[in-house]
Structures are given as C-alpha cells and as structure tokens.
Chain A
Amino acid sequence: MQDASSPAKNVNLEFVAFCVGDQEFCIDIMGVREIRGWTQATPLPHAPPYVRGVINLRGAVLPIVDLAMRFGLGLTEPTPRSVIIVVQVDQQVIGLLVDAVSDILTVSEVAMQPTPDIASELAKTFVRGVYPVDGRMISIVALESVLPISEKAAA
C-alpha cells in the first residue's frame, strides 16, 4: 500500500459504507441517489422473502430489498433507526434496507482485493471484492446481482 499522502496516480473511488448485521459493505457513491429512514413498506404478493415490499418515494413506487436477507444473514427487523439507501442500477431505482450507514470511503482502485475464496456461494455472487480499511474488511457489493430482476426473468 502506498502512503495516503502521496499523490496517487490511481483513480480514487468513493464508496458509501454501511453495516448489515455485524458485517460491513460498501457501494459506489455514484450509484447512490439518496439515503433515508425506514418507513413501513407495503408487502408485494409472490415476492421473494428479501423483497420487503414497496414504499412511496415522493410519488414513485420504490421496491425495498432487505440486504441481510439477500445475503443469507437472516431477516432484518426494521427499527426507526434502520436506513434505506436508494440506489440506481441501470434504469431501475431500488431501496436497500441496511442497519446503518457508517462511513464515506475514499480509496484507490488498486487497494481493492479479490474476494477471499470461501465456500459461501452468496459471498461469491454478491461481493465484487474487499477493501482493507483500518483493519476492517469492507466488501464491495455487486449491485446488479442484488436486484430481484434475474430471478423474475427465470420465473
């Protein structure tokens, strides 16, 4: 790793870091539209368990994906302190239910490490790579695989 103060030749990327359970994840800040508090969602029939329903975002209907459930970490019990990160993926706008937003990270592209090779298929599907930050491990979420769209096409 290079000294942080040296002018980095590499492109610096900014990420929004957040907690899901006791793990930390991050997503590219350019994909984040807004961050808002939890509001009660209207459940959708025949939806997979990680789709918590839809909420009203200033007149638009926004589906909410429970990231913990999506990653196989169990259902999130939403509290008033839970956070919805509104992200845009391609043309779709969805909300991600997470426990808390923790940080904004500025990291260089070269600092990214490939996902450690562990057995969990879920980790391989949803984690694009990991960043070491102050001794913590922050996983980069592959947003396109979080969407329910792929399963819908199959169904």
Chain B
Amino acid sequence: MSLPLTLAVLDGMAVSVAGQTLVVPLTAIVETLKPKKTELHGLGKDGRVMSIRNTFVPLIDVGTQLGFRDTPADPENSVAILVETGGGTRNALLVDSIQDQRQVVIKSLETNYGTVAGIAAATILGDGRVALILDVDALLTSSFDTLRSEELCYGTGG
C-alpha cells in the first residue's frame, strides 16, 4: 500500500445528467439559471440559443453531447449553467439538476483507460461511485465539431 504524495483537489458543482452525476469545474461557471420558455430560441435545424439579459448564448445539451441520451432534454425542466471558456466565449450547458457544490479529488482516467473527449478526469463520490469531471472547453469544441459536420452533410446532400 502506498500513499499518494500529492492530491489534486478541484472545486466543482455536482450536476445530474440522464441519471449520471457529473462535476463541472467551478472555475468555468459564471452563473446558473432556470430557462424560461420566452428566453429560448431555435436557431437553424437543431441549434438552440438562450437569451440572458439580451445577449444570446448557445445552449448545449450535455446529455446528448456525451451520448447519454438521444433526444435533447426539455430546457424548461432543466437548469442552464452559463460557462465561460478561456477565450472568453460564453455558452449555456443544459443539465437536469444541480446537486451541490463540493471539492473533489481528481483521479486520472488516462492511467488505466485513456482520454475521453469532453471529460477531463474522474472522481470518486462519497457513496463510492465514480463521477466524471467535465472538460468544458473540450465539450464546447466537440459540440461545434458535430454542428459543423452536420452542416457539411447538409451541404453535400442539398
């Protein structure tokens, strides 16, 4: 048995998405909101934006983005987490509910498995289960990638 020399601890917000617990790093979060019907607007085929004090930010469904479910969640029964990436762009992540705010110990996924797109690392919750820590930047990049590839398909098909 060996003890780790250092522990990496992260301040995060535990959220529920499609029955799974995910941790969103607190450093990325600007605010959390409850979307109202009047604030939601469709843009394009599947794109959705949310107006926050008259600025429109893209709404990203974490559940479909990570492949936890096929149909997007109903935004009115979800919680939007406004996140800001390093570049200063803002996006709203749609999750089912917020559990609480907690400090988590970062456990590497790379050691035994490998890198997962949109996931920074894992952690172990109080009940012994593993929760995944979101990589907000990578999640947003991958969401744009899927949008772009859909556009390309649409372009060649039409």
Q: How many residue pairs, one in A and one in B, have C-beta atoms under 8 Å apart?
A: 69
A54 to B130, Cβ gap below 8 A?
yes
- B122 on interface, CB distance cutoff 8 Å: yes
Contact indicator per residue, chain B 103-121, by CB within 8 Å of chain A (1) or not (0): 0000111011111111100
Query: Which one of A37-45, A122-130, A134-142 contacts B?
Result: A37-45
A contact residues, total (Cβ < 8 Å): 25
A46 to B116, Cβ gap below 8 A?
yes
Q: A45-B116, A54-B122, A148-B114 are in contact. Are A61 and B66 (CB under 8 A)?
A: no
- A94 on interface, CB distance cutoff 8 Å: yes
Selected from A42, A47, A62, A93, the residue in CB contact (under 8 A) with B131 is A42
Minimum Cβ distance to chain A for residue B111 (Å) = 7
A42 to B132, Cβ gap below 8 A?
yes
Minimum Cβ distance to chain A for residue B155 (Å) = 25
- B68 on interface, CB distance cutoff 8 Å: yes
Chain B hits for A148, CB < 8 A: 113-114
Selected from A45, A91, A94, the residue in CB contact (under 8 A) with B118 is A45
- B20 on interface, CB distance cutoff 8 Å: yes
